[in-house]
Amino acid sequence: MSKDELLTTKKSDLQEAVKIAEKGTHCGMCKIDFLGSGVCPAGKKHGFAAYWPEGRMEIVKALYSDKIKPTEELKRIANSCTVCGICDKQCNFTTHLRPEKVANALKEFVNKLDDKVFEKIPEDKTLQELRSIVGEKWVSNDPAIIVSYTKTIITPDAGVNFYVVMPETTEEVAEIVKYADKYNIPYLPRGNGTLLAMFIETLLAKAVSLEKGIIFDLRRLKKIEIDEDNKIAKIGVGVTAFALQKEAYKHGMRALVAEAEAHVCVNIASVGIISTWGNTYGWGSDNFTDATLVDSKGNIIHHSDEDLTNPYSTNNNFTNLTLTPSTIITEATVKLHPIFEDEEAVLVPFEKLDDALDLALELAKRNIGLSLAVISSKYLSEFICPTNDIAEDFEYIAKNYLKFNFMVDVVCDKYDKKVVEELADVIIDQKMMKTLILGSPRFASLKESEFLKILSEEKNPLKAIFAGPMKDHLEKALDPSPKQIAKVYDEDLQDFFEKVYSKPEMTDVVWLHAFRILPSRLMRQRMFMLRGGYIVADKKKIIELNNMLRTIGDKHKLSNALGFISFLENGKFAFVEYDYYFNHLDPDSHNRLNQAIVETLQMELKIKGLLPIEYVFHKGLFRKEHLFYPMPEGLSDDELKILGEMVQTVVGG
Amino acid sequence: MVKFLSEEWIEIGKKYILEKLDPVKDLKSITTSLLGVVEHIPPDDITMNFYLELEGGKLIHFIVNTGDTFDEKEATYEIRGNYGTYKSVLQGKMSLGIAVLKNRLKVKGSKMQALKLIKPLDGVIVSLKEITDEFED
């Protein structure tokens, strides 16, 4: 039997694993210990994406589709899995998938193959040069390693003509860039790849990805040094939001961070850290005191260098569009903020966005709320519910029976809380939020309940259920307990999840806001693409933007909803995230999404006072004063036409 | 077919632009000048540049030089990038727009005006594609 025949025979064993792997969306949560279960031991030891659960998913798909052939490195990757089950626990919490089955299938497949099947990948000059800089272990041109970066920096059709390098220091990064520049080798840095995973699913894929050359996987630069006296932390680019926040909390402080799995430095440089805490802490450049960068010539730049021309400056018009970074950030010194003992989360539910914005803008202008946002019932449901089905029913009940479409979400101290309570008709306090989190499966099961149907006919169902006598009944009826919520998981994982949900932080809304472990559930077996951007915080404009994005989403038959609206600069500016959800396995879904992206961008560019999210990319190191003052004028039809032609060359290229 | 940045490339390029590109239809009657700086040219890692000037869509100058500046004329725009990037653009593997968005080509000069030039310049690039298929490895 020839090598190829042998492979074809064995490949059928991978079918079930491929079905699981296809549902993976690269949320990157398997690389952080957010449940206290530990992380994949093989990934921790070897570093490359291939050794992590999400990488094995790409490998299985690539093997099955003949994109790669077995190599000696593949054998090492497959057998590095200890079948410890950690990946199942982590991934099940976030995406409801069981990646261990994928790892097992890969291991079995590889070990059934004859030794003669495995190829050794030849070395070349570039590989040798990169090895001389970072050491033999931390660079590879093996297709099994390369392919694991598919969808998080390279496109599925990009082939495997790449090198992956994992430098440990800024100096190593600089040496590699010098080498790449001299020999005309393209390169691109990568954090955890989650944002890239989102954009690679769209028509912008070619503009944001690497077509060949050197992939910088920056995970190894993970220094964290807390300076308690000066309330700062020096961090390497490999430090995730979760890791920094955990360390900051140990010292009684908090950092402004993005989603748990995001690399903090990368997030500062890319979109400036978009967060509900921006109400108090500001955005990217407000939160670092120094940054170390490597420029395109391999020079190391420190923001604190005396002879550096203003590194915080940029122009704010629509030609300032760049979809890949011009420098590689390797370190930053970030500010840490105080934590108050009386912090509490208070949520104020509303039927209409108009009313929610009235309250939120009032609070933002008066700088009330450490963290402040308007969030949709869609977001709340997705975040707190353990499965997509439960989230869907939870949202249905919230919208149709309780008339609860939006909420003003405030993390406040006792003084701010008084103001919120005075201004709000109804509040959902920490205790009720704990009830809704632990009781979400039972709450969702009330979809056909006669009681809720009757309640919906009340003049103010929200008040009746969250502030009236029904409140106690609801709490009892939902039987909110770790045991109850654990029942929705597979039987073998129920004990584990009962313990997880017994931890106070899992129902502590302030902690959940600070550590941001729940947003990755938006990528639960399907993808989403964000629209919107920064806008002057004018209620009418925000509502018009929301309505326009909804209309276009509906037109293209995309499930869509407002995500959240956060605030900056004492309520002068708002960030609006509106989400289009789509099936990443369905080409028609991609086509509809891409049409919606083009249409929404055209409409957004005409709105005076709006900076679409695409125009914020790689601007986080700049002062917001340069980006937002003044906010751009909308484009005229002629200007829009020119821009459209440019977009055409981009999409076509 | 001639080698990128050779004297023949300039000569045939001039001829091609003059004969094959319509000043109004293809080049939108643009008046501009640009300096293309090409860095890290193998095998000796040298830098060269080409200066291109159009008036009302007609080619006035197309000159190639060594080094990263052209002292005789001051260009309205400078587009700087390495040899690999220019090669990708001229081989049609990457569009001019995408090279700019990816920071592979850096533009100096008014970006709004530069944006307006992307489409007609794409026409020039297409024409240069037709005459060049020899590159240093």
Distance CA A49, CA A62 (A): 14
pLDDT at position A641 over 90: no
The predicted-structure confidence for A263-292, as pLDDT tens digits, reads as follows 999 999 999 999 999 999 999 999 999 999
Distance CA A481, CA A510 (A): 19
On chain A, the residues whose CB falls within 8 A of the CB of B112 are 317, 319
**Per-range mean pLDDT, top range of A58-62, A470-474, B25-29:** A58-62
Instruction: Please identify, among A217, A237, A257, the residue that sits at the C-terminal boundary of a domain.
Output: A217
CA distance B108 to chain A (A): 12
Binary contact (B111, A646; C-beta < 8 A): no
Distance CA A179, CA B37 (A): 19
Binary contact (A653, B97; C-beta < 8 A): yes
Distance CA A71, CA A120 (A): 6
Q: Percentage of chain A with pLDDT > 70? A: 96
pLDDT at position A1 over 60: no
Instruction: Please identify, among A181, A200, A217, the residue that sits at the C-terminal boundary of a domain.
Output: A217
Enumerate chain B positions whose Cβ falls within 8 A of a Cβ in A.
Answer: 39-40, 42, 45, 82-85, 87, 93-98, 101-104, 106, 111-112, 114-116, 118-119, 122
Binary contact (A646, B115; C-beta < 8 A): yes
pLDDT confidence of residue A473? 85
Q: Indicate whether A210 and A312 sit together in one domain.
A: no
Please give the residue of chain A at the shortest CA–CA distance from B105. Answer: A326
The predicted-structure confidence for A147-163, as pLDDT tens digits, reads as follows 999 999 999 999 999 99
Q: How many domains does chain A have?
A: 4
Of A203-207, A495-499, A531-535, A637-641, give the lowest mean pLDDT range. Answer: A637-641
Q: Indicate whether A403 and A463 sit together in one domain.
A: yes
Distance CA A88, CA A96 (A): 9
pLDDT confidence of residue B77? 86
Q: Indicate whether A267 and A412 sit together in one domain.
A: no
Average pLDDT of every residue of chain B: 85
pLDDT confidence of residue B94? 87
Find where tokens 């570093």 sit: A47
Instruction: Please identify, among A191, A217, A243, the residue that sits at the C-terminal boundary of a domain.
Output: A217
Distance CA A56, CA A77 (A): 8
Q: Indicate whether A493 and A353 sit together in one domain.
A: yes
pLDDT confidence of residue A317? 67
Give the A window 72-131 contacts with B, CB below 8 Å: none
Q: Indicate whether A471 and A371 sit together in one domain.
A: yes
Residue A137 sits at the vertex; the CA angle it makes with A136 and A139, to the nearest 5 degrees, is: 75
**What mean pLDDT comes out for the span A85-98?**
97
Is A414 exposed, middle or buried (CB count within 10 Å of its CB: 0-12, 13-18, 19+)? exposed
Find where tokens 């490999």 sit: A238
Q: Indicate whether A245 and A357 sit together in one domain.
A: no
pLDDT confidence of residue A108? 95
pLDDT at position A534 over 90: yes
Domain-embedded: residue B96: yes
CA distance A124 to chain B (A): 15
**What mean pLDDT comes out for the span A217-242?**
98
Binary contact (B97, A650; C-beta < 8 A): yes
- Sequence-distant (≥ 6) Cβ neighbours of residue A443 within 8 angstroms: A394, A397, A436, A478
Give me the domain span that covers residue B73.
2-132
The predicted-structure confidence for B102-120, as pLDDT tens digits, reads as follows 889 888 876 666 666 766 7
Binary contact (B122, A649; C-beta < 8 A): yes
CATH of the domain at A200: 3.30.43.10
Domain-embedded: residue B81: yes
Find where tokens 């000066």 sit: A230
**Whose CA is closest to A276, among A563, A626, A632?**
A563
pLDDT at position A3 over 80: no
pLDDT confidence of residue A142? 98
CA A392 to chain centre: 21
**Whose CA is closest to B80, among A181, A558, A37, A621?**
A181
Distance CA A622, CA A619 (A): 6
Give me the domain span that covers residue A175.
3-217
Binary contact (A319, B112; C-beta < 8 A): yes
**Whose CA is closest to A194, among A520, A515, A512?**
A520
Please give the residue of chain B at the shortest CA–CA distance from A617. Answer: B101
CA distance A177 to chain B (A): 13
CA distance A621 to chain B (A): 16
Binary contact (B95, A181; C-beta < 8 A): no
Q: How many domains does chain B have?
A: 1
Q: Is A206 on the interface with B (CB under 8 A)?
A: yes
Per the model's pLDDT, the better-predicted residue between B95 and A420 turns out to be: A420
pLDDT confidence of residue A125? 97
Q: Is A184 on the interface with B (CB under 8 A)?
A: yes
Domain-embedded: residue A532: no
Domain-embedded: residue A621: yes
pLDDT at position A652 over 60: no
CATH of the domain at B122: 3.30.1050.10
Q: Indicate whether A197 and A256 sit together in one domain.
A: no
pLDDT confidence of residue A653? 42
CATH of the domain at A229: 3.30.465.10
Binary contact (A186, B87; C-beta < 8 A): no
Average pLDDT of every residue of chain A: 94
Of A211, A317, A323, the CB nearest to B112: A317
Domain-embedded: residue A250: yes
Domain-embedded: residue B137: no
Of A181, A319, A321, the CB nearest to B40: A181
pLDDT classification of A569: cutoffs 50, 70, 90: very high
What totals of helices (H) and strands (E) does chain B contain, helices first?
Answer: 4, 7
Domain-embedded: residue A439: yes
Binary contact (B40, A186; C-beta < 8 A): no
**Cβ distance A436 to A484 under 8 Å?**
no
**Cβ distance A530 to A578 under 8 Å?**
yes
Q: Indicate whether A467 and A563 sit together in one domain.
A: no
pLDDT confidence of residue A538? 97
- The three-class DSSP label of residue A560 is strand
Q: Is A640 on the interface with B (CB under 8 A)?
A: no
Q: Indicate whether A361 and A320 sit together in one domain.
A: no
Please give the residue of chain A at the shortest CA–CA distance from B118. Answer: A646
Domain-embedded: residue A193: yes
**What mean pLDDT comes out for the span A167-189?**
97
pLDDT at position A314 over 90: no
User: Could you give the count of Cα atoms lying within 13 Å of A469 in the half-sphere of its Cβ?
Assistant: 0
Per the model's pLDDT, the better-predicted residue between A200 and B96 turns out to be: A200
On chain A, the residues whose CB falls within 8 A of the CB of B39 are 181
Domain-embedded: residue A533: no
On chain B, the residues whose CB falls within 8 A of the CB of A183 are 40, 42
β-sheet with A328-335: strand ranges across: A224-227, A232-236, A328-335, A288-294, A300-302
User: What ranges in A151-292 are assigned the alpha helix state H?
Assistant: 170-182, 194-199, 205-208, 241-250, 264-271, 278-281
Structure letter (DSSP) for residue A402:
S
Domain-embedded: residue B127: yes
Find where tokens 């530990």 sit: A38
Quote the strand ranges of A424-536, DSSP E.
527-536
Please give the residue of chain A at the shortest CA–CA distance from B80. Answer: A296
For the record, the structure tokens of A259 come out as: 């989603």
Q: Indicate whether A295 and A262 sit together in one domain.
A: yes
pLDDT confidence of residue A319? 67
For the record, the structure tokens of A226 come out as: 């807390």
Domain-embedded: residue A408: yes
Q: Indicate whether A478 and A562 sit together in one domain.
A: no
The predicted-structure confidence for A576-592, as pLDDT tens digits, reads as follows 999 999 999 999 999 99
**Per-range mean pLDDT, top range of A395-409, A456-470, A625-639:** A395-409
Of A559-563, B47-51, B116-120, give the lowest mean pLDDT range. Answer: B116-120
Q: Indicate whether A207 and A238 sit together in one domain.
A: no
